[in-house]
Chain A
Amino acid sequence: MPSAIFGSIEAGAMYALMALGVYLSFRVLDFPDLTVDGSFVTGGAVAAVLIVGGTNPFLATILAFVAGFLAGSVTGLLHTKGKINPLLSGIIMMIALYSINLRIMGKSNIPLLSEETVITKLTDFWQGLGLDNALAFIGFVPKTWAILILMLILALFVKVMIDWFLKTDIGLAIRATGNNETMIRSFSANTDTLKILGLGLSNGLVALSGGLVAQYNGFSDVGMGIGMIVIGLASVIIGEAIFGAKTIFRATLAVIGGAILYRIIVTLALRVEFLETGDMKLITALIVVFALVLPKILEKQKERQRKKKRMLQAGME
């Protein structure tokens, strides 16, 4: 049990990058971007093909980000220059990427188990430092702490970069684009360029996450992105509901927390007797519905109680 939870936190830290990407499109740009299902795989595909081809895994992972950035930019172009509705631009790109991903990989699955990946390199580096022994006092001994800690550091680093970026002049303009387009245009911003940039960055992060997850799982598969957008949304929504989203600092931290929490919930759910691995997408969908509906029900209940109280007070006087 603890090792299953441990694993879900490890994976959660990697999926957090994807969730941060979804946060950028969904919350900051107010653009429900379905490209994610495709660009996640693009990241995995690019990283896997390059690693098998002998490229340095770190470079391969960075190039996965670049590939995702390009995919997101195309979605942006479809929407801004082609005047295609946001949802539709994303769906078109998602479908197009399915074929493109197959082309990149050349087949539907590339195993990475015998390859040197970012994951194996980081683990080796970590063990060279002897840090696992230093952490033995905790009592719980996983295979290695390397992935958990280094991936959390990466997620937090990306979070800090996003926080910073959204406070720069360009970042402010991107946020205003998602908030009030008329306004930001009247202040001389080119909203087309800003949307393309925002969607590029968003999908870059998604692909980076895909690249890391492929290396972590030991394979890249053309179907590994199915439902990814919903997982991203689940992470953002759960995170915001539990940790709050008053400031950008809080919101991005909440997204990371939400991504990890989502993994833990899924892990726990799958331990229930009658549920199977194939039920995961259904569970994800239910979690999202739950996270969206529950706050509203709670709010209504509070309202009703307040009313009752007021009625009672009025009756007593």
Chain B
Amino acid sequence: MLELNQIHKIFNEGTPDEKIALTQMNLDLHQGDFMTVIGSNGAGKSTLMNIISGKLIPDVGQVIIDRKNVSNVKENKRARLIGRVFQDPMAGTAPAMTIEENLAIAYTRTRSRGLHIGVSKKRKAFFQEKLEMLHLGLENRLQAKVGLLSGGERQALSLLMATFTEPKILLLDEHTAALDPSRAELITNLTKEIVGKFQLTTLMVTHNMQQAIDLGNRLIMMDKGQIIFSADEKQKSQLTVEKLLNEFQQIRGEKMNSDRAILA
């Protein structure tokens, strides 16, 4: 479903600030795969996400989604295939607009927009039904401005907006990192539920090692622009945080830079 071939990306090439963000990156996700991505700061996780979403264009290499080469497809066009949830709960929704208007925008992600009324009666019923999946009572607050919601509610809404049109690929970029522990748990559980329900092919970046182990069926660890460790379903089921840290130490010969990695 998602294939990366020999992706190479350098920032500020030819200047003293030159930084190799990704090198010889290969990835192959099948339909329904849920892969978690861990790695220290500067490992290239965000670059990876941005290259898949089209925000960044790789210097070399191909991005293939659903057997189509989308390497040269612009970000906004590519977004028809991709659902995204950002780290910042403010980033995924339009605060001055109502819940139903935000959902209408998300609803039209996969089609071209015309002069159809955004929040029609038919769509409204559909939105209500989808909002019930979140168990937050938002289905009764369709006309509330999204800016009035709490961070957790906004992130739950973002997650729903990114997924209810069943994208080919779902990208989750540390989408629980900015929330307090109980809200983060809520979003984690919702993620599990929604991804399972729609069988979405998902790539999730996280700093929380436990979360990376608990969620999904595959796991990769990145460092310095490369995948240094990857676990398939069977290997992943036996992983623990200690084992992961040991792996890192063995491969790199140094301790993992744990300033942001949450170990437990």
Which residues of A are at the interface with B, using a C-beta cutoff of 8 A?
A: 164-165, 167-173, 175-176, 179-180, 182-191
Contacts and interface: CB of A to CB of B under 8 A. Distances in A.
A173 to B, nearest CB: 6
Interface residues of B, number: 33
A180 B91 contact: yes
A179 to B, nearest CB: 4
Interface string B76-113: 11011010101000111111110001001110111001
B179 interface: no
A183 B118 contact: no
A225 B213 CA distance: 64
Nearest to A166: B118
Contacts of B116: 168-169
Given A164-B117, A188-B110, A191-B76, 4 more contacts: A167-B117, A172-B118, A183-B91, A184-B105
B76 A190 contact: yes
29 contacts: A165-B115, A167-B117, A167-B118, A168-B114, A168-B118, A169-B108, A169-B115, A169-B116, A170-B113, A170-B114, A171-B118, A172-B101, A172-B104, A175-B97, A176-B97, A179-B97, A180-B93, A184-B94, A185-B75, A185-B76, A186-B92, A187-B106, A187-B108, A187-B109, A188-B77, A188-B109, A189-B76, A189-B113, A191-B76
Contacts of B109: 187-188
Nearest to B92: A183
A249 to B, nearest CB: 13
A175 B117 contact: no
A172 B104 CA distance: 8
Given A167-B117, A172-B105, A185 B79 contact: yes
A123 B108 CA distance: 46
Nearest to A185: B76
Contact of A168 (B75, B90, B95, B115): B115
Contacts of A184: 94, 105
B91 A173 contact: no
Interface string B31-69: 000000000000000000000010000000000000000
B210 to A, nearest CB: 28
A150 B117 CA distance: 28
Contacts of A172: 97, 101, 104-105, 113, 118
A222 B264 CA distance: 71
B20 interface: no
B190 interface: no
A176 B108 CA distance: 13
Given A179-B96, A183-B93, A187-B108, A173 B76 contact: no
Nearest to A175: B97
B25 interface: no
A164 B92 CA distance: 25
A175 B94 contact: yes
B119 interface: yes
B245 to A, nearest CB: 34
B94 A180 contact: yes
Contacts of A188: 76-77, 79-80, 108-110
Contacts of B95: 179-180
Interface in B155-177: 161-162
Contacts of A173: 105, 108, 113
A176 B119 contact: no
Nearest to B84: A186
Nearest to A28: B96
Contact of A179 (B82, B94, B117): B94
